[in-house]
Amino acid sequence: ACATVALIAVCITSDRFNTKGPFIIGCLSVTCIGYILLLADVNVKAKMVATCMITAGLYPTVVLTVTWLGINTGGFTKRGTTWAMGEVFGQCFSIMGQKMYNTPPRYMKGHAIALGFMALSMLSALVLILWMKHLNAKKDRIVAEYAARGEAHPHINRSLEEEYDFHISFRYIL
């Protein structure tokens, strides 16, 4: 129930603001807090809250990540390839999950590894936001330079399939 409400609320809000990265980082932060609570020696009610936080953070993160991957990849072929690679990595993590959650009853090893991956994901999302912001600004500077000379960029009429997300008119959604 928590995951369903969070998924709908976060994804609609993300679409309204036309941004994905900050929402991914926010959801992963909630997930990290949940894992920290599970790793701490707390009572059963706190563990239930932690589990709700993990699912409420992870479900929107998965949907936003897949969406972010799709909207920031230009060209059908490149987009299809990135989607396939994303699916392969997703399946690898599913397989890895059964190997890392093998220390009952508290599953400290599994929770710690998952927490580490959540932290790495947050860092990756932050780096991607900064990198895409840099690339958008670079494209804006190039377009402004051509406009100041009264010229059009030489690749402006090329298709997205030819230029992919490197097209001068393509802007990354942060």
User: pLDDT for 83-129, tens place per residue?
Assistant: 888 888 888 888 888 889 888 888 999 999 999 999 999 999 999 99
Q: How confident is the model at residue 61 (pLDDT cuts 50, 70, 90)?
A: very high
- Full-prediction pTM beyond 0.85? yes
C-alpha distances (whole Å) from 108 to each of 1, 97, 120, 163 are: 25, 13, 18, 47
What share of the chain in percent tops pLDDT 70? 100
State the Cα–Cα distance between residues 73 and 166, nearest whole angstrom: 9
Q: What is the DSSP string of 106-137?
A: TTHHHHHHHHHHHHHHHHHHHHHHHHHHHHHH
Helix (H) and strand (E) counts for the chain? Answer: 6, 0
Q: Which span out of 68-82, 91-105, 133-147 was modeled with the highest average pLDDT? A: 133-147
